[in-house]
Structure 1
Amino acid sequence: MSILVRPPKRKLDEVDALNDGPRKQNSNSSDLGLSQWASRPPSEQTETSGDSQALVVSLRELHSNRGSPVLFENGPLQSPRNFHPKASVVLIGIRGTGKSSLAVILSASSGRRLIDADRYFHQITGYSRAAFKKENDHAEYRKQEARVFESMLADNQDGCVIACGAGSMERSGQQLLREYARTHPVIHVTRDPASIQSYLKAWDTQKVRHFLDLSGPIYRGCSNLEFFNLSETIRGQRVFRDGHDSPSDPKVDQRAHTPTPFLTLKRVQRDFLRFIAFVTGDGAELSRQHASFPLSLLPVESRSYTSAVSVPFSAIGDKDLDIEELEFGADAFELAIDVTGSSNLVEVDSNLADNISQAVATIRRNIIVPLIYHVQSYMAPVGSLSPNHTPQRCPDDEYLNLVRHGLRLAPDFLTIDLSRDDTLLTQIMSIKGLIRIIGHFEAFHPLAGGWDGDEFMKVYERAKRIGCDMVRLCQPAESMEDNLAVQRFRHRIQSLPVSGLPLIAYNTGPLGRVSRCFNPILTPVTHSSLVYTSPAQLRPYITSRDAQKALYNSFVLDPMQFFVFGANVTYSMSPAMHNTAFELCGMPHLYSIYQSPTLRGLNDLVENQHFGGSSVSLPYKTEVIPLLHSMSPHAQAIGAVNTLIPIRNLDDSDPRASQESSVHLEKSRAGPIKGLHGDNTDWIGICNCIRRGLSPANAVRPSSTGLIIGSGGMARAAVYSMIHLGVQNIFVYNRTIANAEKVAHHYNRQDLHPKAERMSTGRPRVGTLASLQDPWPSAFKQPTIIVSCIPAHSIGGQPAPNFHMPSHWLESPTGGVIVDLAYKPLNTPLMKQMRALSHRGWVALDGLDVLPEQGFAQFELFTGRRAPRRLMRTIVLQEYKDDEGQDDQNAIRDRLQNLDGQPT
């Protein structure tokens, strides 16, 4: 059985009615635009959808005896999905799915040339599709369409993003797309019916759903990848591009209200660009995206005692399910497809693929950890509660089609069932692309000889032979001795003369919980909200918090002490933020304030064998550098350190290896300290806030310009964050011009871009501005990214700066983002000024946005674990105190009620 089977026959007049229904002009369409859309006259602000009748023809052919296009013997499902990084990307899908907007987003962000299939037809023939059909019969139109479409694909093999309308979906177009998909990403863009209906402004949602059922097999048959365009939601309500403007009242925090239209596509932009970077193997772009979260730069199997939270597909639709909370403490998120063997699978067949795609998109929207796609091969029969009952295995074709659909969605990892035969498994391996494969084998009854026998070793060796990247083995524990046996098996694997596959091995059932706690790689865990056993029953599962607490209670890991170190740090909110996060994650650590009038106070911290790391505050961010054994590239480039990590293992023969092992991998283990490693996360906090507030219309391009106000250490971090984002034109303004010139010289003498990137984008340049009265430099575009790094309160008896941006520096036609690092008071004069300009596209963020963002990265560097992001944001807001105005406290209450803890 295929989950993508040919749909049941429909009356063609129903299909015709759907395709030829009214097309109301919608100037706020999510399928167009951004800055290009905004600049068009109203008469052109509609999607060039092409000839919708072409899809009707395709549907007629689908209902013929030619068979379902999804199951072509050598179609896209059998293509290897290994693409050249510059290979052109094709987007297909019905009207209203947002493929045109996605094409614009990708073009603006990557520099790919944007090609619209319908416009291309007009350019080649001199006619629109409708006009050409009016002048010619249908046979001639189909011939011309085939010639134009073939020419478009053949002439644009590299460096393009091609958006195809329904007019490209003639039978000949389908064949051309299938051929193109052998070497290029051809992405089927889909969306939920309610969002499509809102765009079309016609038909009801049920008709749209009916149309998706009919058209889905055609589009899937022509593509090798699938992207579900998840609509933005605020307070549980969908938000489309025709959302209302933010309130212009400068006292109102705009983030607590429906976002401006400029940010409506923000999260879609992030999701889609990450998807494209992964499927095309763009390592440089992936590294840039992951740099904000240090653990993302390390393979998950290289770290100790990692976990993967397993969530059933059947639970994702629960409206009360908080996916971000499920991720807390986990190092990966496993989506378990638990639909195999269902007695009513035929009835849900037409919607199942869309539902799985939407579930994957929903998960990705809320997590930062890798995604594992796992098809449950075995399902217990309905009504069977006996733990000794062997589950039923689903048929090979049903299993294979669910796995194939998972490959289309490009998860980080995908499991294959090692109980299946080699023919099926090698077929999956041949089309996996860049997805990493976990060979999974679960014994529902103990194997002969158990872990000490030969059966598990045979399974392990078979996984190696097939080409798996990891192997996961488990069986039920019948006694506590079985937990020692699995440790012995792990030792056997580690003792092999040739380095083997990373091994996930554990026992199942209540007696096997101990083995899960001590399994070092991606141990399966659950979340308390997903545990359905009654209190009287023994729980067979553990949570990530359970696993962490067990490791500390058994002395495998040690409680550590962390500090914020500086000359005046009594006001710091970091202790409350980190200590609450430690408690939630099951870590017995303590984060304290250590105030010292001199740098010598650092000696007391280093002599503490339980020292786990420290935040560094003024004035020691540069003074501490001579004391360090090593520094991260970020800290070296900025010339300042705000994070110290102890090094306990030094190997002079291989200092780089020891640095990686000790700094990133050896966490929560006490002992003598032999050196200190310095890092900087200030730039991460600024960078993430810029990303959050920068609209897709202002995506960074070679012509983009950034502006820094100030010249201190945070200004240097702000310049680095802009360089990291790809901004090539950066200006620094400071009241003392000489200090601004020092910052500019510091970066202009460095070469921070790899050679390949310099050749394609140029080298970043940092200039200075002498006076607020000077006009903006005419050779450069107005700034769309601004970071203010000056205080807003009085210091040392000096009056508050009361800084305002010159209006002639704020003439960007699409607005931009401003990050004000000050938060005392929260509603600074600059924030009031910029929030009053929100209707022009300006988005303002403050120091209370920056602090937790840099704290997430510090938490990862300190603990080797993912930070509970929403909790840490909540604590910062709750701990914030300021006596300068009631407006601040009102804004805090508003932000707490509408807290957004989702990843940047």
Structure 2
Amino acid sequence: MSILVRPPKRKLHEMETLADDAPRKHGSNGFVPTTPARSDSTSRQQTEHTETSADPQWQATSLRELHSNRGSPVLFDSGPLQIPRNFSPNASVVLIGIRGTGKSSLAVILAATSGRRLIDADRYFQQMTGCSRAAFKKDNALIEYRQQEARVMESMLSDNQEGCVIACGAGSMERTGQRLLREYARTHPVIHVVRDPDSIQSYLKAWDTQKVRHFLELSGPIYRGCSNLEFFNASETNGSEHGTKDSHHDHTPTPFLTLKRVQRDFLRFIAFVTGDHEELSRQQASFPLSLLPVESRMYTSAVSVPFSFIHEQDLDIESIEFGADAFELSIDVANCLSGHSGADSNLADGISQAVATIRRKIIVPLIFHVESHGISGPSPSPNRDPSRCNDEMYLDLVRHGLRVAPDFLTIDLSRDDSLLSQVITTRGSTRIIGHFEAFHSLPGGWDGDEYIKLYERARKMGCDIVRLCQPAETMEDNLAVQRFRRRVQNLPYSDIPLIAYNTGHLGRTSRCFNPILTPVMHPSLMHDSPTYLQPSITAHHVQTALYNSFVLDPMQFFVFGANVTYSMSPAMHNTAFKLYGMPHFYRIYQSSTLRGLNDLVENPYFGGSSVSLPYKTECIPLLHSMSSHARAIGAVNTLIPIRNLEGEDPRLSRESSVYLEKNRAGPVKGLHGDNTDWIGICNCIRRGLSPANAVRPSSTGLVIGSGGMARAAVYSMIHLGVQTIFVYNRTLEKAEKLAHHYNRQDLHSKEQSGLNGRPKVNILNSLDDPWPSAFKQPTIIVSGIPAHSIGGQPAPNFHLPSQWLESPTGGVVVDLAYKPLNTPLMQQIRALSHRGWVALDGLDVLPEQGFAQFELFTGRRAPRRLMRTIVLQEYSNEEGDTDQSAIRNRLQNLDGQPA
């Protein structure tokens, strides 16, 4: 019997009380199956109500339902779904789950941001029959109700195959409903939404947490039995949920951003499971390394973290991710099964929650690995292999891994083909790593034929990557694995990447020189006597070894401009280099002419340069290539050396291939230009834009200024899908020039969500003008004008006209200035926080663009928290500000990702 779907013993009356959505506060006649859920006010009301309702009348209704006679969902007696998870990007999405999990909020979020039609199953029933489920059941025989319910459910699913998000309550979970959902799941995502018991109890205001936990255990197999995917709705913490007031920098709490991280996680999940590569690329554009598959870059690592550690400890996930290119969640069977006998749903919920917790904090791919063997000591006995879990237990855990849709999932190549094929054929968008770990050297070792056969077998089965390892008995084994790697490269069909290394203390050398996804461990998780299965090196060890052995070279980076003595970039990057174990150096290079750039390019150790005024446009004629972003903006703030103009991989664009030429010295043959200013602005807009103001075809943006940063601001709005953008500048001619620059280009907003029109940049002539009546009030505003005195001229003291700030749902204002930090504009917007306005300043933007530059320079993920801390500390020191509590408060409200 399945470890994760075993039907529990249960009382039917226990299944009825939590298994439905909360009654709607807005009445029961509001079903609109043909109208997209795009109303700003409606979206905000529904979202806030679903998560935070404390209406006494609603509470009373919930308590009455504890004793209702509503029919209970019963497990449809069939095995777990074993069907391919390949869906059309526009396939309708079904959400199921017990009350209090937040599926209604998720449905509203998805509908508002993607343009899908929102369909509520209970309202659909009422529209079709003229009465609610409860009323129909009361007035009709049970068999008639079941028949009517089946007709309505079948109609709802068959008539809404594309472009919808369907939220199903308990009434949809009768036997017929489960059967229909299982059939629908063959071609559509049917997502089981789960949440932690404390959050559910807090929302319901009924029962206690222990009863909720018990109910989750009972209901889990029912909902998992008719769904093919699972999303754990990780609750916000108080600090990130409402923000933390910063008295020094006057950061105001922002309750309108309560669901920002949930929104980000869920939309990313949907884009991945539906295979919407365009939407994924748009979401990942803030991190340039995401343009390349992680397995295509050299000397990457994957930090391995046991599930038991995450389940039992409050780990700092972002800190653990630091230095790694992937995050591997290792389901340590021996530990996670102990103490979980009979609590199968709890174990599944715990794994789903661990995945959600990790995703909330990381930007690197997630690898889901189920350990086939359990070892509690430092190494297995020479005469005995470690204990191995049975096939059924292993398969159940792996299937659950597929349900949470990780980027990668490992399969144990020591298992039978018939078992592994069940996983590979249902993988969906998840990529498969064929994994084999020997505990004793196979016949012939790396020089024999056994590992070649394993590689060939994994390839034929459809694995995307192969990972092989065995214990090192002598140092010679580390040379042998290199010979094996070369043998694989010389095969006529070596078309899938290989991870090969030795385990154990003597095998550390092979791990350092394994080219891709080397398993490493974070220092905080290493023990004095690590177990045999745990990596024995850290990412810092690997980096240090590569540079000390001359595989990689120490590089020199610069900030180049006419007046860059004030730059905080050197401190930000140099601190990151040091912590990474990179012997690089970043310094200021000030030049009165563009010719100074020649001195940098002639340096064989030149790794790249930030570009400051006035050279952001002047350097363009010197470039060999430009990114699409820099070309559209018409300005460059990042230069990357090109050392290989010939023999490029035809599958990679120049924009992608330059990322492969990192950390190696040599003659510079060309320059590649990029722009990360727009990334810093775009990420701040995302962070401050509430779910109620999700970008829609009618959304409007406003840019103040017409300089280079204003150009980047316009581009960031276009990237986000804003189709109507206004520009105001004191000098009208400059504003017209900026508008013409974009209106002449064939730039398009994202194709999904119905945002397939060409964006238009318009001009506002005067601050005294009313907002154009034909357009909605702006919800995204970026100011690119300085706030300090320049050339003896007084500070602008700029405020936005009140008639341009009448959005009923507020919005986000990003002020790119940070001298002073608390500008008049920021003071104005923070005073309007009660109306939904969110203010972000220049110190929010600067680190964001720096993260992207770090990736472009080094080919490594940026240590986001560290670099942000350095920027805040450098600013604090420069301005004579010693209020460290203010810095801590700002840091607590950020998690390193664009929301």
* TM-score normalised by L of structure 2: 0.93
Q: Relative to 1, partners in 2 of residues 1:469 and 1:537: Cα closer, same or farther, differing over 3 Å?
A: closer
- Quick one: which amino acid aligns to residue 121 of structure 2? A
Matched, 1:127 2:122: no
Please give the alpha-carbon distance, in whole angstroms, between the structure 2 residues aligned to 1:149 and 1:758. Answer: 26
Q: Given the alignment, which residue of 719, 739, 744 partners 1:744?
A: 739
Unaligned runs of 5+ residues in structure 1 are 63-67
Secondary structure of 1:599's counterpart equals: coil
Distance 1:672 1:246, change over 3 A: closer
Deviation per residue, 1:684-717 (Å, 9 max, x gap): 0000000011011100000000000000000000
Change (3 A) 1:404 1:206: same
CA distance in 2: counterparts of 1:875 and 1:123, whole angstroms: 58
Q: CA offset at residue 343 of structure 1?
A: 5.1
Contact 1:21 1:202 in 2 (8 A): no
Match of 1:10?
10
Q: What SS does the aligned partner of 2:237 have?
A: strand
After superposition, residues 436-515 of structure 1 pair within 5 angstroms as 436-515=431-510
Q: 1:877 aligns with which of 867, 872, 880?
A: 872
Amino acid at match of 2:618: E
Asked if residue 117 in structure 1 is aligned to residue 91 in structure 2, the reply is no
Structure 2 SS opposite 1:761: coil
Give CA deviations for 1:197-234 in whole Å, capped at 9, x if unaligned: 11101111111111111111111011000000000013
Q: Displacement of 1:468 after TM fit?
A: 0.3
Question: Are 1:616 and 2:616 matched, yes or no?
Answer: no
Structure 1 equivalent of residue 251 of structure 2: 253
CA distance in 2, matches of 1:630, 1:55: 69
> Counterparts of 2:575 and 2:131 in 1: how far apart (Å)?
65
Give, in whole Å, the separation in 1 of the partners of 2:739 and 2:382.
68
Structure 1 pair 433/688, CA: closer, same or farther in 2 (3 Å)? same
Q: Which AA in structure 2 matches 1:511? A: L
Matches of 2:303 and 2:281 in 1, distance apart? 24
Would the alpha carbon gap of residues 54 and 811 (structure 1) be closer, same or farther in structure 2, given more than 3 Å must change? same
Are the equivalent residues in 2 in contact too, given 1:251–1:832 (CA < 8 A)? no
**Partner residue in 2 for 1:65:** none
**Deviations, residues 240-270 of structure 1 (Å, cap 9, x unaligned):** xxx6x9869896212xxxx433100000000
Q: 2:670 aligns with which of 669, 675, 680?
A: 675
Alignment match, 1:91: 95
Q: Which residue of 2 aligns with 1:268?
A: 262
Does structure 2 retain, via aligned residues, the 8 Å contact 1:821–1:846? Answer: yes
SS in 2 for 1:390: coil
Provide the C-alpha distance between the structure 2 equivalents of 1:538 and 1:137, rounded to a whole number of angstroms: 60
Q: Kindly tell me: are residues 46 and 588 of structure 1, through their superposed partners in 2, closer, same or farther at Cα, counting changes over 3 Å?
A: farther
Read off the aligned partner of 1:265 and give its amino acid letter: L
1:33/1:97 CA distance change after superposition, 3 Å: farther
Query: How high is the sequence identity, in percent, across the aligned residues?
Result: 76
Preserved CA contact (<8 Å) 2:377 2:531: no
Match of 1:36 in 2: 42
**Distance (whole Å) between structure 2 residues aligned to residue 197 and residue 781 of structure 1:** 39
3-state DSSP class of the match of 2:609?
strand
Residue number in structure 2 paired with 1:597 = 592
C-alpha separation between the residues in 1 aligned to 2:378 and 2:870? 45
Q: Tell me, yes or no, if the aligned pair for 1:525 and 1:543 is still in contact at 8 Å.
A: yes
The one-letter code matched in structure 2 to 1:146 is: A
SS in 2 for 1:346: coil
Code of the residue aligned with 1:160 in structure 2: it is C
Measured in 2, the distance between the counterparts of 1:723 and 1:45 equals 44
* Preserved contact between residue 89 and residue 162 of structure 1 (Cα < 8 Å): yes
Provide the C-alpha distance between the structure 1 equivalents of 2:249 and 2:256, rounded to a whole number of angstroms: 20
When structure 1 is superposed on structure 2, of 137-146 and 656-665 the one drifting more is 656-665
Aligned equivalents of 2:20 and 2:268: distance in 1? 35
From 263, 274, 277, the equivalent of 1:283 is 277
For 2:70 and 2:859, how far apart are their aligned partners in 1?
54
**Equivalent pairs, count:** 881
Does the CA-based 8 Å contact 2:784-2:816 persist in structure 1? yes
Q: Cα gap change, 1:51/1:168 in structure 2, threshold over 3 Å: closer, same or farther?
A: farther
Q: Label 1:652 to 1:530 Cα distance change in 2 as closer, same or farther (>3 A).
A: closer
**Aligned twin of 1:307:** 301
Report deviation, 1:131. Answer: 2.3
Q: Which residue of 2 aligns with 1:155?
A: 159
C-alpha separation between the residues in 1 aligned to 2:229 and 2:68?
A: 22
In structure 2, how many angstroms separate the alpha carbons of the residues matched to 1:778 and 1:177? 46
3-state SS, counterpart of residue 616 of structure 2:
coil
The more displaced of 594-603 and 49-58 is 49-58
Q: Do the aligned partners of 1:26 and 1:45 also contact (CA within 8 Å) in 2?
A: no
Q: TM-score if structure 1 supplies the norm length?
A: 0.92
CA displacement at 1:650 relative to structure 2: 1.2
1:12 to partner: Cα distance: 4.2
The separation in 1 between residues aligned to 2:298 and 2:560, in whole angstroms, is: 28
Structure 2 SS opposite 1:880: helix
The residue type paired with residue 628 of structure 2 is P
Distance 1:670 1:317 in 2: 44
Structure 1 Cα separation of the partners of residues 737 and 69 of structure 2: 62
SS of the residue 1:552 aligns to: helix
| Amino acid in structure 1 at the alignment position of 2:147 | K
The 10-residue stretch of structure 1 (31-40 or 344-353) with the greater mean CA deviation from structure 2: 31-40
Q: How far 1:659 moved relative to its partner?
A: 3.0
Q: How many Å separate the matches in 1 of 2:96 and 2:195?
A: 12
1:131-280 correspondence runs (5 A): 131-235=135-239, 252-254=250-252, 259-280=253-274
**SS across alignment from 2:192:** strand
Offset of 1:339 from its aligned partner? 2.2
SS in 1 for 2:595: helix
Is the 8 Å Cα contact of residues 635 and 678 (structure 1) preserved in structure 2? yes
Distance 1:823 1:91, change over 3 A: same
The 10-residue stretch of structure 1 (491-500 or 666-675) with the greater mean CA deviation from structure 2: 491-500
The reply to whether residue 715 of structure 1 matches residue 710 of structure 2 is yes
Distance 1:248 1:577 in 2: 23
| Structure 2 residue identity aligned to 1:741 | E
C-alpha change, 1:772 and 1:454, in structure 2 (3 Å) is: same
Whole-Å Cα distance in 1 between the matches of residues 756 and 16 of structure 2? 48
Residues 183 and 825 of structure 1: is their aligned pair in 2 closer, same or farther, counting only changes over 3 Å? same
Q: Is the 8 A contact 2:22 2:100 kept in 1?
A: no
- Work out whether residues 6 and 221 of structure 2, in 8 Å CA contact, stay in contact via their aligned partners in 1: yes
The 1:788/1:601 distance shift into structure 2, 3 A limit, reads: same
CA contact (8 A) 2:520 2:535 kept: no
Structure 1: distance between partners of 2:332 and 2:213: 23
User: What is the rounded CA distance, in whole Å, between the counterparts of 1:846 and 1:179 in structure 2?
Assistant: 50
Tell me, in whole angstroms, the C-alpha distance in 1 between the residues paired with 2:534 and 2:412. 25
How far does residue 174 in structure 1 lie from its aligned partner after superposition? 0.6
Q: Return the offset for 1:58.
A: 4.1
Inter-partner Cα distance in structure 2 for 1:599 and 1:500: 45
Provide the residue aligned with 2:654 in structure 1: 659
**1:537-585 alpha-carbon deviations (Å, 9 max, x no partner):** 9996110110001000000000000000001100000000000001111
- Does residue 1:380 correspond to 2:380, yes or no? no
The equivalences for 1:774-793 within 5 A come to 774-793=769-788
Q: Please give the per-residue CA displacement for 1:635-691, whole angstroms capped at 9, x wherever unaligned.
A: 000000000000111129989958357511010000111111000000000000000
Letter in 2 for 1:546: H
1-structure distance, mates of 2:120, 2:184: 16
